[in-house]
Amino acid sequence: MDYLVLATQLLDSMQAMHKFKSQKHLNEAMQGEAFVLRYIMMQSGDVIPSEISGEMGVSSARIATALNSLENKGLITRQIDLSDRRKIIVGITPEGKALAERQRQAVITGASKMLTLLGEQDAKEYIRIMGRLAEIMATNRIELL
Protein backbone atom coordinates (compact mmCIF):
# COMPACT_ATOMS: atom_id res chain seq x y z
CA MET A 1 0.00 0.00 0.00
CA ASP A 2 1.32 3.42 -0.95
CA TYR A 3 0.67 5.62 2.09
CA LEU A 4 1.97 8.70 0.26
CA VAL A 5 -0.82 8.32 -2.30
CA LEU A 6 -3.37 7.90 0.49
CA ALA A 7 -1.95 10.93 2.30
CA THR A 8 -2.33 12.98 -0.87
CA GLN A 9 -5.94 11.84 -1.21
CA LEU A 10 -6.57 12.72 2.44
CA LEU A 11 -5.17 16.22 2.02
CA ASP A 12 -7.16 16.72 -1.18
CA SER A 13 -10.35 15.67 0.63
CA MET A 14 -9.59 17.93 3.57
CA GLN A 15 -8.96 20.84 1.19
CA ALA A 16 -12.26 20.19 -0.60
CA MET A 17 -14.14 20.13 2.72
CA HIS A 18 -12.47 23.30 3.96
CA LYS A 19 -14.38 25.49 1.51
CA PHE A 20 -17.81 24.54 2.86
CA LYS A 21 -19.51 26.86 5.34
CA SER A 22 -20.37 24.07 7.76
CA GLN A 23 -16.72 22.98 7.96
CA LYS A 24 -15.64 26.57 8.58
CA HIS A 25 -18.12 26.83 11.47
CA LEU A 26 -16.82 23.58 12.93
CA ASN A 27 -13.22 24.76 12.64
CA GLU A 28 -14.08 28.07 14.32
CA ALA A 29 -15.80 26.24 17.17
CA MET A 30 -12.71 24.14 17.77
CA GLN A 31 -10.36 27.09 18.10
CA GLY A 32 -10.27 30.72 19.14
CA GLU A 33 -12.67 32.32 21.59
CA ALA A 34 -15.27 29.56 21.26
CA PHE A 35 -12.71 26.95 22.30
CA VAL A 36 -11.51 29.10 25.21
CA LEU A 37 -15.07 29.57 26.50
CA ARG A 38 -15.87 25.88 26.19
CA TYR A 39 -12.61 24.88 27.88
CA ILE A 40 -13.22 27.16 30.86
CA MET A 41 -16.81 25.94 31.14
CA MET A 42 -15.79 22.29 31.11
CA GLN A 43 -13.24 22.64 33.91
CA SER A 44 -14.43 21.90 37.42
CA GLY A 45 -13.12 25.22 38.63
CA ASP A 46 -11.36 28.31 37.42
CA VAL A 47 -8.30 28.03 35.18
CA ILE A 48 -5.05 29.87 34.59
CA PRO A 49 -4.18 31.18 31.12
CA SER A 50 -1.21 28.82 30.72
CA GLU A 51 -3.58 25.82 31.00
CA ILE A 52 -5.63 27.17 28.11
CA SER A 53 -2.49 27.92 26.11
CA GLY A 54 -1.19 24.41 26.66
CA GLU A 55 -4.50 22.80 25.75
CA MET A 56 -4.80 24.80 22.54
CA GLY A 57 -1.12 24.63 21.66
CA VAL A 58 -0.90 28.37 21.07
CA SER A 59 1.19 31.17 22.52
CA SER A 60 0.34 32.96 25.72
CA ALA A 61 0.03 36.17 23.68
CA ARG A 62 -2.78 34.65 21.59
CA ILE A 63 -4.55 33.53 24.75
CA ALA A 64 -4.16 36.98 26.30
CA THR A 65 -5.76 38.51 23.21
CA ALA A 66 -8.67 36.07 23.34
CA LEU A 67 -9.12 36.61 27.08
CA ASN A 68 -9.11 40.39 26.65
CA SER A 69 -11.81 40.12 24.02
CA LEU A 70 -13.92 37.70 26.08
CA GLU A 71 -13.58 39.86 29.18
CA ASN A 72 -14.60 42.99 27.24
CA LYS A 73 -17.71 41.12 26.08
CA GLY A 74 -18.57 40.17 29.68
CA LEU A 75 -18.13 36.44 29.04
CA ILE A 76 -15.24 35.76 31.44
CA THR A 77 -13.72 37.20 34.59
CA ARG A 78 -10.07 37.49 35.57
CA GLN A 79 -8.86 37.80 39.13
CA ILE A 80 -5.52 37.64 40.90
CA ASP A 81 -5.02 34.34 42.72
CA LEU A 82 -5.04 35.14 46.43
CA SER A 83 -2.69 32.25 47.23
CA ASP A 84 -0.17 33.25 44.52
CA ARG A 85 -0.44 36.85 43.40
CA ARG A 86 1.63 36.08 40.28
CA LYS A 87 -1.23 34.01 38.87
CA ILE A 88 -4.39 35.16 37.16
CA ILE A 89 -7.50 33.03 37.59
CA VAL A 90 -9.95 32.98 34.69
CA GLY A 91 -13.61 32.20 35.31
CA ILE A 92 -16.70 32.19 33.15
CA THR A 93 -19.75 34.40 33.63
CA PRO A 94 -23.34 33.16 33.34
CA GLU A 95 -23.50 34.90 29.94
CA GLY A 96 -20.32 33.09 28.89
CA LYS A 97 -21.74 29.73 29.99
CA ALA A 98 -24.94 30.35 28.06
CA LEU A 99 -23.04 31.30 24.90
CA ALA A 100 -20.66 28.34 25.20
CA GLU A 101 -23.62 25.97 25.59
CA ARG A 102 -25.43 27.49 22.58
CA GLN A 103 -22.28 27.14 20.48
CA ARG A 104 -21.80 23.55 21.66
CA GLN A 105 -25.37 22.63 20.76
CA ALA A 106 -25.05 24.25 17.33
CA VAL A 107 -21.89 22.25 16.60
CA ILE A 108 -23.49 19.02 17.82
CA THR A 109 -26.55 19.65 15.66
CA GLY A 110 -24.41 20.33 12.59
CA ALA A 111 -22.21 17.30 13.20
CA SER A 112 -25.30 15.15 13.69
CA LYS A 113 -26.64 16.27 10.31
CA MET A 114 -23.35 15.40 8.61
CA LEU A 115 -23.19 12.00 10.31
CA THR A 116 -26.79 11.31 9.32
CA LEU A 117 -25.87 11.90 5.68
CA LEU A 118 -23.04 9.38 6.01
CA GLY A 119 -25.40 6.71 7.24
CA GLU A 120 -25.12 4.62 10.39
CA GLN A 121 -22.30 2.28 9.34
CA ASP A 122 -20.05 4.94 7.80
CA ALA A 123 -20.73 7.37 10.67
CA LYS A 124 -19.73 4.77 13.26
CA GLU A 125 -16.62 3.87 11.26
CA TYR A 126 -15.66 7.53 10.87
CA ILE A 127 -15.98 8.12 14.62
CA ARG A 128 -14.01 4.94 15.35
CA ILE A 129 -11.19 5.99 13.02
CA MET A 130 -11.08 9.56 14.37
CA GLY A 131 -10.88 8.17 17.91
CA ARG A 132 -8.11 5.81 16.87
CA LEU A 133 -6.16 8.64 15.24
CA ALA A 134 -6.51 10.78 18.36
CA GLU A 135 -5.28 7.86 20.46
CA ILE A 136 -2.29 7.23 18.17
CA MET A 137 -1.33 10.89 18.08
CA ALA A 138 -1.58 11.23 21.87
CA THR A 139 0.35 8.03 22.54
CA ASN A 140 3.11 8.74 20.04
CA ARG A 141 3.11 12.52 20.41
CA ILE A 142 2.80 12.83 16.65
CA GLU A 143 2.59 16.24 15.07
CA LEU A 144 1.63 16.30 11.41
CA LEU A 145 3.42 19.54 10.62
**Mean pLDDT, residues 9-27:** 77
pLDDT above 60 (res 145): no
pLDDT tens track for 32-87: 888 899 999 998 678 999 998 888 888 888 889 999 999 999 999 999 988 888 88
Would you say residue 125 lies in a domain?
yes
pLDDT above 70 (res 2): yes
Residue 76: predicted pLDDT: 94
Counting the structural domains of the chain, the total is 1
DSSP the chain: --HHHHHHHHHHHHHHHHTSHHHHHHHHHTSHHHHHHHHHHHSSS-B-HHHHHHHHT--HHHHHHHHHHHHHTTSEEEEE-SS-TT-EEEEE-HHHHHHHHHHHHHHHHHHHHHHHHH-HHHHHHHHHHHHHHHHHHHHHT----
Q: What is the CATH number of the domain that holds 107?
A: 1.10.10.10
